[in-house]
Chains A and B, each alone.
Chain A
């Protein structure tokens, strides 16, 4: 199993450009999440999804959109990138509940720079 994968690994955008980050998981997880990591801020939740076709806002959703058309994929879109969106983006996924209660599995991250 590949676990959680993210593409691309690195990207540089100019202000105003758009892009989509792709997250894929092969663990048949119900739940998927997008976080951003900034120095001194820890991880902050952007959006999450509890199932195919369903998404919800997290702590810092402004400037981002998401879609979950297939259970295994969770896309994060930036419609008009801003320098404040320079960050490392992590995708995660998790089971519904069970013995591994609430454990999330993380991808390797995408480093995005907006100039």
Chain B
């Protein structure tokens, strides 16, 4: 079945450092890929997405490129802020019959940014 593997955390960075969170996937067909973010005490929010190979998703300074050849969707940000401290989830979406889909999530990576 489908699966998503992301790097274990916590990832601890100083403000303005460069961030990379690795995500690789295993799937049949042509899935869509997502990054969700969960701030403390809240639900998940969509951060960015890519629906086909070579697409780049971007939002709030974060970006990730859908690499089919390496089955990866790594999350990057050039300069993190304290407010970026959260748990980040990589997810894969597959269409099922009748057009609907379910998401397969990675285990999440906690990011801690210090001033």
A88 to B93, CA, bound (A): 22
Chain A interface residue count: which class? 20 to 34
A102 to B112, CA, bound (A): 29
Q: Do B42 and A102 have beta carbons less than 8 Å apart?
A: no
Chain B interface residue count: which class? 20 to 34
Of the candidates B49, B101, B106, the one having the most CB atoms from chain A within 10 angstroms of its own CB is B101
Task: Chain B residues near A90: list those with CB within 8 A.
Answer: 43-44
Q: Do B43 and A108 have beta carbons less than 8 Å apart?
A: yes
B105 in complex: contacting residue of A43, A94, A102, CB < 8 Å: A43
Given A90-B43, A106-B44, is A101 in contact with B102 using a C-beta cutoff of 8 Å? no
Q: Do A45 and B43 have beta carbons less than 8 Å apart?
A: no
Q: Do B101 and A102 have beta carbons less than 8 Å apart?
A: yes
Interface residues of B in 22-42 (CB under 8 A from A): 32, 34, 36, 42
Could you tell me which B residues sit within 8 Å of A by CB distance? 32, 34, 36, 42-46, 49, 51, 89, 93, 95, 98-103, 105-108
Listed by A's residue number, 18 A-B pairs whose Cβ atoms lie within 8 Å are: A30-B100, A31-B100, A33-B102, A42-B89, A42-B105, A44-B105, A45-B102, A50-B100, A96-B100, A97-B95, A97-B100, A101-B51, A102-B101, A103-B49, A104-B103, A107-B43, A108-B43, A109-B42
